[in-house]
Structure 1
């Protein structure tokens, strides 16, 4: 059984539309796929209508603020029609668009041409993310990689950095629980926290009612995975798996390199009660 509980479409910062994503997932023989676009669920119903083999799980990736850091919470298995959740996600999307304009304005003050309109074209009606802005700068030859754009322009202390008034982790967890879903701490090693601060993040997430943590991820070293398993077990958190797929690339593919160790309980028994507890 192949499960991937974290991927993106053109509804946020992915490059594939729902039809293309479903075709790829079925070619990869995925059994269960959660589409987790940033602060939007717009791609889920179109994908579900197109899917034949793969089963689509309701998902979303919610941006939150914790101790001055942007922390992402993946929601799974919630009710798509829950109005409180959808209203909160709408506010998040409006905040993203405000942030994109603010980033553009700040970059202009440093001598770069405006990026907002070109980023909006790339978003094609979806939410404008920092990835769209980064792609505009790459396309213009300002830098040649996402890493360089983010490190030079959009991280803390740089000209395009804009702190965002996201909801708290606790608010995100409560919204997901009230809508019938579960909350997962996404890609915990991507926030560049020390072990001490990562332990603090996981502890606070658990104290706020979080359910799971991503442990099955591409390019994750075994010692790092063991560390995440230890943190999960210390706080009675379940394990999730996710490629965080945005576009086709050799090292990040739907359903690939997402194995969990045998000593951790997977989260999908909470959202997929009809399948066996296996991974």
Structure 2
């Protein structure tokens, strides 16, 4: 199976996040970065929203960069979190409306986390968090940044290691669809469903690929060349499209760079 849409490594990045979810940069800023890196094809895959896609598409078309309409949805499979990337979404507005319930759930989750943090002596408000979320979906990194701003921690990483990481004292589980419902939601919108960053699933990848997938993210910033080779072999085995992306959020990551 060839790289998705016959793209050449080094010319694309199909996994990035903007200020519409937990990324630091606007869709327009991401396009400008892609231009400077000579990328020809990009995809915005914000969490549970496609609201930033029209802005990215408009900015990219003006300079000749192709934008694939995308999204990243959290699902659950055998009590394990599995992120699903949706690409080539045909009905962007419909899918975005279907995901509204998950954006509302993220807002409620943020309120519960803030309450837990307050009980632990770390007082922040939803307004503190919204200053970082801006127009986007509220996520844990926004809460972490608010904590750092208030002086409760030195870094976002410290916050996740001690308080907000999965299962830690201030964490609240996020609302998730069962895996196949998430996949079917993407397909109903005319898209294809791709398993995101399989390295996070450890030894479960081959088993999970027996589910109804269209593709797998072979290249990712946390995949070694050996990982990429292994996942490419799995793609061949299961007859899946191969994609890749940096999972870009901020300047700690390198757009367009992955194994």
TM-score by length of 2: 0.88
* CA offset digits 1:83-125 (Å, max 9, x no partner): 2x22321111111111111111111122211343211111112
Counterparts of 1:173 and 1:219, CA distance in 2: 24
**Is residue 2:79 matched to residue 1:68?**
yes
Aligned 8 A contact 1:115 1:133 in 2: no
Check if 1:98 corresponds to 2:118: no
Q: CA deviation at 1:136?
A: 1.4
What is residue 212 of structure 1 aligned with on the other side? 215
Q: For the residues of structure 2 that align with 1:113 and 1:137, how far apart are their CA atoms?
A: 8
Q: 1:124 to 1:31 in 2, by over 3 A?
A: same
Q: Structure 1, residues 217-257: CA drift from partner, whole Å, max 9, x if none?
A: 224222222332233333222211111111123xx322223
Contact 1:13 1:132 in 2 (8 A): yes
| Displacement of 1:80 | 3.7
**CA apart distance, 1:35:** 0.6
1:261 matched to which residue of 2?
none
1:41–1:80: 8 Å Cα contact kept in structure 2?
A: no
Residue in structure 1 matched with residue 147 of structure 2 by the alignment? 137
Instruction: Supply the RMSD in Å over aligned alpha carbons.
Output: 1.8
1:39 alignment partner, one of 48, 60, 64 = 48
Aligned to 1:157: 167
Gaps of 5+ in 2: 1-7
Whether 1:107 and 2:123 are equivalent positions in the alignment is no
Q: How many residues align?
A: 248
Asked if residue 21 in structure 1 is aligned to residue 11 in structure 2, the reply is no
The 1-side partners of 2:22 and 2:207 are apart by 29
Whole-angstrom CA distance in 2 between matches of 1:125 and 1:112: 25
Partner of 2:68: 57
- Relative contact order, higher structure (CA 8 A, sep 6+): 2
Aligned residue runs from structure 1 range 164-243, under 5 A: 164-190=174-200, 193-195=201-203, 197-203=204-210, 207=211, 209-243=212-246
Equivalent position of 2:254 in the other structure: 253
Query: 1:237/1:58 Cα in 2 relative to 1: closer, same or farther (>3 Å)?
Result: same
Which ranges of 4 or more aligned residues in structure 1 deviate by more than 4 Å?
none
CA contact (8 A) 2:51 2:96 kept: no
Answering whether residue 88 of structure 2 is matched by residue 87 of structure 1, we say no
- Write the distance in 1 (CA, Å) between the matches of 2:26 and 2:92: 22
Structure 1, unmatched stretches of 5+, are 259-279
Provide TM-score, normalisation by structure 1: 0.82
Q: Do the aligned residues in 2 keep the contact of 1:29 with 1:54 (CA within 8 Å)? A: no
